[in-house]
Amino acid sequence: MMQRTGRYLGLMPIGVLLIVFLGLPIIAILRFSLQDAKGGFTLTNFRTAMTGVYLDGILLSINLSLLSALISVVVGLLFAFGVARSRIKLLKNLVSTAAGVFANTGGVPLAFMFIASLGTYGMLTVWLRQVGIDVYGGDWTLYSFSGLLIVYLYFQVPLMILVSLPMIEGIKVEWREASQTLGSSSGYFLRRVIVPVLAPQVLATYLLLFTNSFAAYATAAALTSGSIALVPVQIASLIASNVQVDGANIAMALGVCMVAIVAIAMSIYISLERKVAKWRS
Amino acid sequence: MKSIFKRALAVVFALALVATIPVATSQAATKSAAKATSAADVGGLAELIKMAKKEGELNTIALPDYWANYGNVIKRFSEKYGIKVNSYDPEASSAEELVAVRTLKGQDRMPDVLDVGLQFAVQGAQEGLLAPYKVSTWNDIPNAAKDPKGLWYSDYGGYIAIGYDANVVKTPPKSFADLLNPIYKNQVALNGNPTSSNSAFLSVLATSVAAGKGVRGANNIQFGLEYWKQLKANGNFVPVAATPATVEAGQTPILLDWDYLHAKYKGQSGRVDWKVVVPSDAVLGGFYAQAIVKNSPHPAAARLWQEFLYSDEGQNLWLEGGARPIRLDAMVKSNKHNKTAFANLPAVPKSAKPIFPSLQQQLLARATLTPAWPNL
């Protein structure tokens, strides 16, 4: 009895934190999203959020996030396999430390780093031009969808490496030995053991990466000035608008849509995590 | 457990009571200031100064130091009257100023005075957030630039201008049409997102005036959107939100902004040779507006702040920041203006007729631009 109350008491701080910083804001957003500028009940905000340029924004945000997560999973997993299988301990430490730093680089500084390196007069751009490669020779710019994708990969791939290193190291040597003893080939082991064990984890990480990029805001805002429709940027411009006087409620409706999308992704993530836990125990 | 809780509650109540006592007395003293619609209502400027000094503080919001010389305006006001200016959230937007007034109602941190875009002044007045007040120099402010009751009044303004780094841009642009020239590939930027930033929005509207060859461009921003579509197709438009840092890095060597905000793009390094030109094909002007917040914590200081801003001294401080104060014409007539600062203002093309977009024009343009901008 005593022990149980103690356990709940220990959850108090995080509980309070969740209520104050997650629960209450969500309730507030939901409430305002159903109000017009004068405070009366309306569904127009959602109608606006689901049409025209705002629908474009939601779709493009999902698109960018799906794509950047997919590329990051593939590239990051290859990286992580290479590092995990190498015998050099220093390399492993170096890569995971670096990945930790890069995965947490974001916001306006990240945008500026890319402007300074891959912008029209960026260092890298100028060097490449000197060896005869003009990245701005054609239609491409850093400020386009594909440019933004590259910038997102900068923090997404390291996050994938960071998450998948322990995942790969979780494949126990004993499993391999056991299956070899029972006469399986490497291919069989890969097919019947590694893939089934890793698949739910990789899928879960994919969803994590999706959410990570879906909510990214400052970098995109600094790079594109709203010239590419992305939900977080649209929400910000509606709220802080010097131009539109009645946009805050539409912003809230867009926020609710984002919460819903992330909630779906996260609930799949959690159910996958449960499956994974079975293998870890 | 319970008794401890009760005792704690009692202490909190006692403290709260003590805290309200000085507030209650000071409110009694400044009650007349909160209702005053002119300095005469409190017995003249000297009396207003006395009351403001007693309050000792003034809350401002959204006043960056670099913006129209506000750093010095605040410093000078503070020194002159011994009033501490709490400059909250200097980078806030007009919309955020109104939000602050609504949400901080009754709190010590509530803004006393506002400096907002025209439509937000009108909105604040409609919502009943503002207190009417007419400064001593009220008659110098043109009728079109103020609320007849004194709920808001234009303060300073300028024209949308092209700025460029002469070290990078060898052929100086003279007009918005010039910017379409392929020699400016990857060089032209705005200072923000026109669906939210007021200056970026009016920059687009200015190009619309140029592309539409006059007022019809202000009536229909579609001309401007076509212009930016072309600028983007040419590869001239760099959609980075320009800052002094992006200018310094050479990424946004040409950008559009209010003429009085261009000074900051010079930066600190000395490597940027920033030039400002009011384009020959569109002179689009705009004024911000001042207002006093209703039932704010320092009503006398708020009114004294307005008296200071609209005095010759306050107006000249704005002029020194490159902004055109609303009383400029009157001051030029009476020869009270700062001559050097006046001479430093970017020249407006002689033949040009400045266009000041009305609220209706702006609302219409905004409604057209918001859905179209992300799909340029």
- A52 contacts B240? CB cut-off 8 A: no
Please give the share of chain B, as a percent, with pLDDT higher than 70. 92
Average pLDDT over residues A26-43: 88
Is residue B192 a part of any domain in this protein?
yes
Does residue B87 lie in a domain region?
Answer: yes
The pLDDT of residue A1 is: 52
Supply the range of the domain harboring residue B277: 158-284+347-375
Phi and psi at residue B340, to the nearest 5°: -60, -50
Q: How far is A108 from chain B (nearest CA, A)?
A: 10
Q: Do the Cβ atoms of B123 and A245 come within 8 Å? A: yes
Comparing B30 with A160, which gets the higher pLDDT?
A: A160
Kindly state whether residues B301 and B352 are assigned to the same domain. Answer: no
pLDDT tens for each residue of B203-254: 999 999 999 999 999 999 999 999 999 999 988 999 888 989 889 888 899 9
| One domain for residues B276 and B291 | no
Residue B29 and residue B23: Cα distance in Å, rounded? 10
Yes or no, beta carbons of B193 and A237 under 8 Å apart: yes
What mean pLDDT comes out for the span B284-290? Answer: 94
Which of the residue ranges A39-53, B10-24, B172-186 would you say has the lowest mean pLDDT?
B10-24
Biggest alpha carbon distance in chain A?
Answer: 75
| Mean pLDDT lowest among A9-18, A107-116, B16-25 | B16-25
Instruction: Identify whether residues B195 and B271 lie together within a single domain.
Output: yes
Q: Same structural domain for residues B279 and B312? A: no
B312 and B211 fall within a common domain: no
Contact B200, A244 (CB under 8 A): no
Percent of chain B with pLDDT over 90: 70
| Confidence class for position B18, pLDDT limits 50, 70, 90 | very low
Q: In DSSP terms, which residues pair with B190 in a beta bridge?
A: B241, B256
Residue B3 has pLDDT above 60, yes or no: no
- Residues B238, A242: C-beta atoms closer than 8 Å: no
Does residue B135 fall inside a structural domain? Answer: yes
Contact (CB<8Å) A223/B94: no
Q: Is the pLDDT of residue A245 over 70?
A: no
- The answer to whether B198 contacts A243, with C-beta atoms less than 8 Å apart, is yes
Q: Does any domain span residue B16? A: no
- pLDDT tens per residue across span A182-220: 988 888 988 888 888 888 889 989 999 999 999 899 899
Whether the pLDDT of residue B280 is over 70: the answer is yes
pLDDT in the model for residue B20: 45
Pair B223, B365 in one domain: yes
Hey, of A241, A246, A250, A252, which one would you mutate to test binding to chain B, going by the most B CBs within 10 A of its CB? A241
> For residues B68 and B318, is the Cβ–Cβ distance under 8 A?
yes
pLDDT of residue A11 exceeding 90 = no
Residue B183 lies in a domain: yes
Does one domain contain both B129 and B215? no
Mean pLDDT, to the nearest integer, of B59-67? 93
Q: pLDDT tier at B46 (50, 70, 90 boundaries)?
A: very high
Higher pLDDT, B29 or B365: B365
- Please report the DSSP string for B274-327 in residue order: EEEE--TT--BEEEEEEEEETT-S-HHHHHHHHHHHTSHHHHHHHHHTT-EETT
- Across chain B, what does the average pLDDT equal? 89
Domains defined for chain A, CATH in brackets: 59-247+254-280 (1.10.3720.10)
pLDDT band at B22 (very low <50, low <70, confident <90, very high): very low
Q: Rounded CA gap, B132 and B330, in Å?
A: 23
- Domain shared by B190 and B249, yes or no: yes
Structural domain includes residue B7: no
Which has the closest alpha carbon to A28: A248, A272, A246? A248
Mean pLDDT of A137-151: 88
Closest CB from A53, A112, A136 relative to B374: A53
Confidence of residue A6 (pLDDT cuts 50, 70, 90): confident
Does A244 sit within 8 Å of B239, measured CB to CB?
A: no
Same domain, B360 and B247: yes
- pLDDT above 50 (res A96): yes
pLDDT at A3: 64
A227·B93 Cβ contact <8 A: no
Number of domains in chain B: 2
Q: How confident is the model at residue B61 (pLDDT cuts 50, 70, 90)?
A: very high
Residue B118 domain-assigned (yes or no): yes
| Cα of A19 to nearest chain B Cα, Å | 21
Q: Are residues B313 and B175 in the same domain?
A: no
pLDDT for the residue numbered B178: 97
In this predicted structure, what is the pLDDT of residue A280?
61
Q: What is the pLDDT of residue B232?
A: 92
Distance CA B328, CA B72 (A): 19
3-state secondary structure of B190: strand
Task: Write out the two tokens for B84.
Answer: 């501490």
Distance in angstroms between the alpha carbons of the first and the last residue of chain B: 65
Q: Residue B239 is nearest to which of A57, A227, A241, comparing CB atoms?
A: A227
Q: What span, in angstroms and rounded, lies between the C-alpha atoms of B232 and A141?
A: 11
CB-side neighbour CA atoms (13 Å) of B51: 28
pLDDT over 60 at B367, yes or no: yes
Residue B195 maps to which CATH number? 3.40.190.10
pLDDT of res. A241: 67
Task: Provide the pLDDT for residue B43.
Answer: 92
> What residues of chain B lie within 8 A of the CB of A119, using their CB?
240, 249, 251
Q: Give the ipTM of the model, two decimals please.
A: 0.72
Q: B198-211 and B222-233 are packed helices; what angle lies between their axes, rounded to 10 degrees? A: 90
> Integer distance in angstroms from the first to the last C-alpha of chain A?
27
Q: Is the pLDDT of residue A276 over 80?
A: no
User: What's the pTM?
Assistant: 0.77
Mean pLDDT is highest, among A9-18, A271-280, B12-21, B280-289, for B280-289
Among candidates A136, A234, A242 on the partner chain, residue whose Cβ is nearest the Cβ of B95 = A242
Residue B21 resides in a domain: no
Identify which of B237, B249, B366 has the shortest CB distance to residue A244.
Answer: B366
CB contact under 8 A, B93 and A143: no
Which pLDDT band, with edges at 50, 70 and 90, does B28 fall under? very low
A245–B96 C-beta distance less than 8 A: no
Give percent of chain A with pLDDT exceeding 70. 95
Phi-psi category of B183—alpha, beta or left, where left has phi over 0 and alpha has psi -120 to 50? alpha
Q: Which residue bears the tokens 């029209």?
A: A120
Interface check for A131 against chain B (CB to CB < 8 A): the answer is no
The answer to whether residues B232 and B138 belong to one domain is no
Please check the confidence at residue B16 and state whether its pLDDT lies above 50: no
Pairs across A and B, CB distance < 8 A: 117
Q: Are residues B185 and B147 in the same domain?
A: no
Please tell me the distance in Å from A235's CA to the nearest CA on chain B: 10
Res A158 pLDDT > 50: yes
